[in-house]
Amino acid sequence: MNLASVVQSEQELLLPTYDRQRVLFTRGRGVYLWDSEGKRYLDFLSGLGVNALGHGHRAIQSVLRRQAARLIHVSNLFFHEYQAELAKRLTKISGLDKAFFCNSGTEAWEGALKLARALARVENSNGHKAKWRILALDNSFHGRTFGSLATTGQAKYRHPFAPLVPGVGFVALNDIDDLKRQFDGSVCAICLEIIQGEGGIFPVSAEFLQAARELSQRTGALLILDEIQCGLGRTGKYFAYQQYGVKPDIVTVAKPLAAGLPLGAILTTNRVAGGMHPGMHGTTFGGGPLACAVAIEVLRTVDGLLGHVREMGGYFREKLEALQAKHASIREVRGMGLMLGIDIDSADTAKAAVQQLLDHGILINRTHETVLRFLPPYIIQRKHVDQVIRALDTALASAPAKPGRGFARAGKSAKRSKTQ
Ligand SMILES: Cc1ncc(COP(=O)(O)O)c(C=O)c1O
């Protein structure tokens, strides 16, 4: 099958949910992908943060082969060898006590919200009305199912499907006054991404996170962190919250957990686990032996890469900041580790840059209209960063000049310190 016939068949047969780039990928190795014409691409997106170990990783392939030949699925009615082992590793690195395995990010997030409501009921069984309100952040993204949409603070995702799950309020990112205003005794959870990913690479400020932690502790509400994109080593620590020294009540992970097999996890405390009993929550596929065996190998490998992620992240950021000094069209460089973004002063320029890099064999994406997002695999080297920086330099040099650029840039410096 060639690209044209795949495009035509998909147009006839698939729901029109994606606006795909016209590339048909057929294989991958390390930091590279190849398309059906044999063209090579440097992958600085890693399947939206999933392929953290790159493509065709030998240790992953060998676990996959071995486990696929032994046992792929048994259902959660029975035990298998790997859930407890994986839970042991995840609880150890997160400092939490219990795990639940599912199939995707949004499913992990739904489960986290259910845990918060369930615990609130158990802890308010003395006749008082249970806490029920959930606070989430403006501009957040938590997934496509109803609970996740209800806590996603972007109208474009929510609007077509309203009415959504009730009881959710939105707080402005890093606005402690707004948080305090909305945080009362009816709140059972405050939910946030440590770095808003789809929303345009906006890190939460240390002060805001601390305030959320203190308010929730004071009232008995839960602090729920979505580390589906920023977790599992992406920032150079296992969890992005470990960069802030704050511990959540629940954290959700997914994307890189099983190297491309669908696997998500909810990690939480013994207190929160007390709200659940058998039959209250579950999944047919989640946490199967194949995905869990692979995830154990992923964590083993990521352990040896955290220092490298910090080093490459620092190098990449430095280069992006040097590029910002050269190109007035770059308003801001944001992010941590190997989750970085540059905010461009025009959506058209950002769009053209993504296309130009694609033409030159480099994969990145654009989010939030104007933000170029970089989520490379953890195994990149300096030479790969240099290649991307050269391509961005060329792409932005050919961008049309926009009136008033100098003013836009000067006005951004104050905001920048707030979001580091
Ligand atoms: C922060 C965050 N939460 C949740 C999700 C949803 O994950 P999934 O697409 O696996 O359902 C995503 C996906 O991009 C995400 O970035």
In 3D, which of 256, 310, 302 has the Cα closest to residue 59? 302
pLDDT in tens, 249-276: 999 999 999 999 999 999 999 999 999 9
Return the residue whose CA atom lies nearest to atom 3 of ligand 1.
142
pLDDT of residue 416: 36
Q: How many residues does the chain have?
A: 420
Mean pLDDT of the chain, nearest integer: 94
Query: Is there an atom of ligand 1 within 6 Å of 229 CB?
Result: yes
In the reported structure, the alpha carbon of residue 49 is separated from the centroid of ligand 1 by a whole-number distance in angstroms of: 10
DSSP state of 197: T
pLDDT at 420 over 90: no
pLDDT at 407 over 80: no
The mean per-residue pLDDT over the stretch 352-363 comes to 98
pTM: 0.95
Query: Is there an atom of ligand 1 within 6 Å of 143 CB?
Result: yes
In the reported structure, the alpha carbon of residue 228 is separated from the centroid of ligand 1 by a whole-number distance in angstroms of: 6
Query: Is there an atom of ligand 1 within 6 Å of 373 CB?
Result: no
pLDDT in tens, 65-114: 999 999 999 999 999 999 999 999 999 999 999 999 999 999 999 999 99
What's the pLDDT band for 125 if we cut at 50, 70, 90? low
Q: In sequence order, what E strands does 313-378 have?
A: 330-336, 339-344, 362-363, 365-367, 371-374
pLDDT of residue 127: 59
In the reported structure, the alpha carbon of residue 277 is separated from the centroid of ligand 1 by a whole-number distance in angstroms of: 27
No. of helices (H) and no. of strands (E), the chain: 16, 17
DSSP state of 250: E
In the reported structure, the alpha carbon of residue 104 is separated from the centroid of ligand 1 by a whole-number distance in angstroms of: 8
In the reported structure, the alpha carbon of residue 108 is separated from the centroid of ligand 1 by a whole-number distance in angstroms of: 9
In 3D, which of 163, 170, 161, 206 has the Cα closest to residue 191? 170
pLDDT of residue 1: 80
* Burial environment of residue 412 by CB neighbours within 10 A (0 to 12, 13 to 18, 19 or more): middle
pLDDT of residue 404: 56
pLDDT at 405 over 60: no
In the reported structure, the alpha carbon of residue 364 is separated from the centroid of ligand 1 by a whole-number distance in angstroms of: 17
What's the pLDDT band for 130 if we cut at 50, 70, 90? confident
DSSP state of 218: H
pLDDT > 90 fraction of the chain, expressed in percent and rounded: 93
pLDDT of residue 292: 98
What's the pLDDT band for 415 if we cut at 50, 70, 90? very low
Q: Which of 2-16, 154-168, 302-316, 402-416 has the lowest mean pLDDT?
A: 402-416
- Residue 277 CB neighbour total at 10 angstroms: 10
The mean per-residue pLDDT over the stretch 327-339 comes to 98
CA atoms of 120 and 127, how far apart (whole Å): 12
DSSP state of 396: H
pLDDT at 419 over 70: no
pLDDT at 368 over 60: yes
pLDDT in tens, 37-75: 999 999 999 999 999 999 999 999 999 999 999 999 999
Tokens 């009730």 — which residue? 166
pLDDT of residue 417: 33
Query: Is there an atom of ligand 1 within 6 Å of 109 CB?
Result: yes
pLDDT at 126 over 80: no
Query: Is there an atom of ligand 1 within 6 Å of 258 CB?
Result: no
Ligand 1 nearest-atom number relative to CA 264: 10
Query: Is there an atom of ligand 1 within 6 Å of 288 CB?
Result: no
Ligand 1 nearest-atom number relative to CA 104: 10
In the reported structure, the alpha carbon of residue 105 is separated from the centroid of ligand 1 by a whole-number distance in angstroms of: 5
Structure-token pair, residue 37: 């014409």
Q: What is the amino acid identity at position 61?
A: Q
pLDDT at 333 over 70: yes
Query: Is there an atom of ligand 1 within 6 Å of 254 CB?
Result: yes
DSSP state of 401: P
Pairing of strands 222-226, 250-253: parallel
pLDDT at 366 over 70: yes
pLDDT of residue 403: 59
pLDDT in tens, 210-249: 999 999 999 999 999 999 999 999 999 999 999 999 999 9
Q: What angle do CA 375, 376, 380 make, to 5 degrees?
A: 155
Return the residue whose CA atom lies nearest to atom 4 of ligand 1.
142
pLDDT of residue 399: 77
CA atoms of 255 and 118, how far apart (whole Å): 26
pLDDT of residue 250: 99
pLDDT at 195 over 60: yes
Helix (H) or strand (E) holding 299: helix 289-303
